[in-house]
Amino acid sequence: MTPPPHRSLASTLYPVALLLIAMASIQSGASLAKSMFPVVGAQGTTTLRLIFASLIMLLLLRPWRAKLTAQSLRTVIVYGMALGGMNFLFYMSVRTVPLGIAVALEFTGPLAVAIYASRRAIDFLWIALAVAGLLLLIPTGATTAGIDLLGAGYALGAGFCWALYILFGQKAGADNGVQTAALGVMIAALFVAPIGIVHAGAALLTPSLIPIAIGVAILSTALPYTLEMIALTRMPARTFGTLMSIEPAIAALSGLVFLQEYLSLAQWTAIACIILASVGATLTMANTAKPVVAAD
């Protein structure tokens, strides 16, 4: 028998490059989204992003071809609401919390899912690292330094929604595959739109915002989701999850470059702790576990 050919360096690096571009795209989109906050707030920004993202994915993925039962429809609805809540709470967080810190706090959601799914003794190390990161980010007692606690709470809430997104996304995706993403984004838009409309009103129709909103929808949803799905088909799920764990660092760098958000040494250390916890949990999780892509 002829031995299978070794993968070339280019074929190995290709999915890694796609994933790095996807993560950079998501965080660039988040930085761009903050420019809309003064006009329509985080609520209106989330609404515009999800509306345009749903239109794009409607055209690309044609979700009307999905075959839904009553049970799968309920799963998709919860999945879409979790996606909408994750986006909404994340944008509410970055109003007052630096981008890198918000993403690090949000990562506690998928980290908790990974650790719960594994339940090994070594997971206590990852829990300890994550807790250390949280203690460095969120001041306790009489400490006055640190970040806005309400904003941190929004980020942790986004993490909780991300955990639900993973759990219900796996169930929904098993039924309808990639079309689930389009259905989820459409439901998320319907879920969040009333909040954005009540908050921003006619400002949502500001002509100068439309190109920015389309850019945010492409950078934060359509482009990264497509690239991540391609990358996931070309690398082991564990490698995918490990690389995704560096996203808080990419978010911090994006905040520094685009938003001039300077972090302290303690905050960088906290982000590093959460990244290490996420990497460790990913590397020690069961082989059957599969990461679920998500766009903030």
* Residue range 263-277: mean pLDDT, rounded: 92
pLDDT attached to residue 230? 79
pLDDT digits (tens, 9 = 90+) for 154-174: 999 999 999 998 888 777 666
69, burial (CB in 10 Å: exposed 0-12, middle 13-18, buried 19+): exposed
Q: Is the pLDDT of residue 115 over 90?
A: no
HSE toward the beta carbon, residue 85, CA cutoff 13 A: 18
Of 43-57, 63-77, 278-292, the one with minimum mean pLDDT is 278-292
Q: Model-level pTM?
A: 0.86
Alpha-carbon gap, residue 283 to 253, rounded angstroms: 25
DSSP string, 86-137: HHHHHHHHTTTS-HHHHHHHHTHHHHHHHHHHH--TTHHHHHHHHHHHHHHH
Q: Residue ranges of the domains in the chain?
A: 14-139+147-287
Alpha-carbon gap, residue 80 to 84, rounded angstroms: 6
Alpha helices per DSSP H over the chain: 9-34, 37-61, 70-93, 99-106, 108-118, 123-137, 149-176, 179-200, 209-217, 223-232, 237-244, 247-259, 265-284
pLDDT digits (tens, 9 = 90+) for 21-68: 999 999 999 999 999 999 999 999 999 999 999 998 888 777 677 676
Which residues, 6 or more positions from 96, have their beta carbon under 8 angstroms from its beta carbon?
147, 148, 150, 151
Which residues, 6 or more positions from 35, have their beta carbon under 8 angstroms from its beta carbon?
212
Taking Cα atoms as reference points, which of 252, 210, 258, 247 lies closest to residue 49? 210
pLDDT band per the 50, 70, 90 thresholds, residue 12: confident
The residue behind tokens 């992003």 is 49
Taking Cα atoms as reference points, which of 289, 285, 280, 284 lies closest to residue 129? 280
pLDDT digits (tens, 9 = 90+) for 217-235: 999 988 887 788 778 777 7
Round the CA-based radius of gyration of the chain to a whole number and report it: 19
